[in-house]
Structure 1
């Protein structure tokens, strides 16, 4: 498959499977781009692994940010636009990006999707807090693919889980700048989880090939551009979490997710149980790279207690250590799987805990 055909295939799948029913603007733009060689061709400026639909849409979002008086902005609620998708949306978008094709290619070539979706903390928190409760001590957090590292602040966020039947579960500090809401359902045969009230964190380290400094407005603007433009609440939450992070910043390390993982892990004090977590990172890895990532985690686990908490599509992550659970596949459910893996010697003990919406707004707890 050529680079162009790969880009078009990804755009088509994104429109149907990711944005469909969730983001009317991005569903429309991706579907039309999938049939347009010139627009889809802009993605070929990126390396194959990075040439994702979200990168094309983020690049366009960033350029519209820089020209907020352009007529296209009226379709971007993130910039105050109030118009829904109509007969002019695609033509304006197409004209906009092709007139700025050189700038689009430059952004696509030099950037990659760096979504810091703060609401994912509400999905990750129960699993990480359960691990900490099991460890009976403070834990060290290591986020791989951290971007700006906003999820490393999960121990300082407040959580409200709206359960089926009307009950609510709350966790986290009573007073916090960042409050997250998540719908919590229970799958057939499952039992509502007991969510620990607190998470004691002794160290916070993030690993990313290009960590984002939230104090840099240009870098923060790129993070905002990676948020889907017709979901402005996500942008506001991003800003709030970024401001909160400045009071207690994590240590962010530039490096490779596999090759530099042991060195990043070593930055977490050895006396702390290590919780490595990822959220929607492994789909961007080639198959062999995913296997290498798991092998590296196993190697680190021979020297210290280690848990991996993953919020990833099943077929990109847990399938490597918990095979035979095809009913969890993202291709079937359009949901990520929240899982926990702990190594005992060379043996990985894996458990799938919940199915979760990719952006963290809801999850369904699975049977034990």
Structure 2
């Protein structure tokens, strides 16, 4: 436990400049101010290793304001019905609010992880999982590592509408889906539109997470909502809709480690099913040594059964290890993640770069 204050302030600054700029005016402003404030940034010093990030500080503040929605700060939080834009009072109110509740804030920071379960990412992953299932030649087993509440595991139940830059629309998923997702697709040079089948043949599914979230528990769901950026209320509404739909047919979620417990979790799926392994914005949050161990474990599993790995991650956190030499795709250079499909044949990876993707699933540039 415990991180250096200078490193935390640097992370807050990077969060403001590279992740929130032009996307979330509220968080860009608050994170930028927090990066210059020892007391506010210092709240993160008790976070678990690797967790002292702007996303966690903003989620903790969001959770505390959810619990006190009549506080004047709430008028800057569209998620709570606020409609004021950032002004000269936003930071002073935020700072005072958080420091008055410093003990509560530290308790949440020590106990919680950033656990987004961004439902819109299913629209990015769907074409890649469909490609894997087509290559597998039949129904597949789906395992998501870092599943949070497992909402992405419901991707076969969602409806999709892809708006192409030429005006064409691609439609997939059940006609009367409770959850409808929209994603815009641009085509890279020489690329052709992806094939998106009407149905995904997923015969079994399971999620693995160090702390799975029960989306049927209101307090747990409130934390997931708090992890959504407060000036993007549409994302929260979608989260609630997907959580309600999931209650009708909840997937199995397993508490465990992404490396140590991966093989045991795979064995919970029928042995005759080809395996599609899914990671989305998870490997970014673990150190390189653990990423390498994860990839080594995946290679071992691929020697036992047909295996495809679908990743939607920062290039430098995932695809770089199996498709090196494409540093121009790095998140720090583009602000975008990449969608990759890796098929293991004879235990060795063959990687395809499919798309560059906006982090929250709203658009992608298809490259394949």
TM superposition score category, shorter chain reference: over 0.9
Contact 2:355 2:365 in 1 (8 A): yes
Other-structure match for 1:195: 196
Aligned match of 1:16: 17
Between the aligned partners of 2:254 and 2:45, the Cα distance in structure 1 is: 29
Instruction: Give the TM-score taking structure 2 as reference length.
Output: 0.98
Cα deviations by residue, 1:35-55 (Å, 9 ceiling, x for unpaired): 111101111111231111100
8 Å contact kept, 2:3–2:46: no
**Do the aligned partners of 1:338 and 1:354 also contact (CA within 8 Å) in 2?**
yes
Secondary structure of 2:60's counterpart equals helix
Q: Distance in 2 between matches of 1:287 and 1:19?
A: 25
- Specify the alignment match of 1:288 in structure 2: 289
More moved, 98-107 vs 130-139? 130-139
Q: Which residue is 1:359 aligned to?
A: 360
Verify the 8 A CA contact 1:140 1:275 in the aligned structure 2: yes
Distance 1:177 1:254, change over 3 A: same
Q: In 1, Cα distance between the equivalents of 2:348 and 2:304?
A: 14
Separation in structure 1 between the aligned mates of residue 346 and residue 44 of structure 2, nearest angstrom: 43
In 1: Cα distance, 2:258 partner to 2:85 partner: 39
Alignment of 1:196-345 (within 5 A): 196-345=197-346
* 1:53-97 CA distance string (max 9 Å, x none): 100100000000000000000000001101111110000000011
Map of 1:98 onto structure 2: 99
1:117-138 deviations in Å (ceiling 9; x for gaps): 0000000000001111121211
Q: Distance in 2 between matches of 1:50 and 1:17?
A: 18
Map 1:72-91 → 2, pairs under 5 A: 72-91=73-92
Counterparts of 1:139 and 1:12 in 2: how far apart (Å)? 42
Q: Note if contact 1:340-1:350 (Cα within 8 Å) is conserved in structure 2.
A: yes
Aligned counterparts of 1:2 and 1:79: Cα–Cα separation in 2: 32
C-alpha contact 2:214 2:221 (8 A) present in aligned 1: yes
SS at match of 1:81: coil
Q: Deviations over 1:247-306 (max 9, x none)?
A: 111000000011111111111111111111011001110010010110110111110011
Q: What does 1:80-159 align with in structure 2 at a 5 Å threshold?
A: 80-159=81-160
Write the distance in 2 (CA, Å) between the matches of 1:2 and 1:353.
Answer: 36
For residues 174 and 2 of structure 1, what CA distance do their matches in structure 2 show? 49
Runs of 4+ displaced beyond 3 Å: none
User: 2:123, 2:181 within 8 Å by CA — same for their partners in 1?
Assistant: yes
Aligned length, in residue pairs: 367
Cα distance, 1:346 vs structure 2? 3.1
Q: Is the 8 A contact 2:3 2:52 kept in 1?
A: no
Report the RMSD for the aligned CA atoms in angstroms.
Answer: 1.0
Q: SS at 2:323's partner residue? A: coil
SS at match of 1:244: helix
CA contact (8 A) 1:130 1:196 kept: no
**Stretches of structure 1 lacking an aligned partner (at least 5 in a row):** none
**CA 1:323–1:4: 2 relative to 1, 3 Å:** same
Structure 2: gaps of 5 or more residues: none
- Matched with 1:180 is 181
* Whole-angstrom distance in 2 between the partners of 1:305 and 1:51: 38
Deviations 1:141-182 (A, max 9, x none): 100000000000000000000001211000001111000000
Q: Is the 8 A contact 1:133 1:196 kept in 2?
A: no
Structure 2 contact 25–86 (Cα < 8 Å) conserved: yes
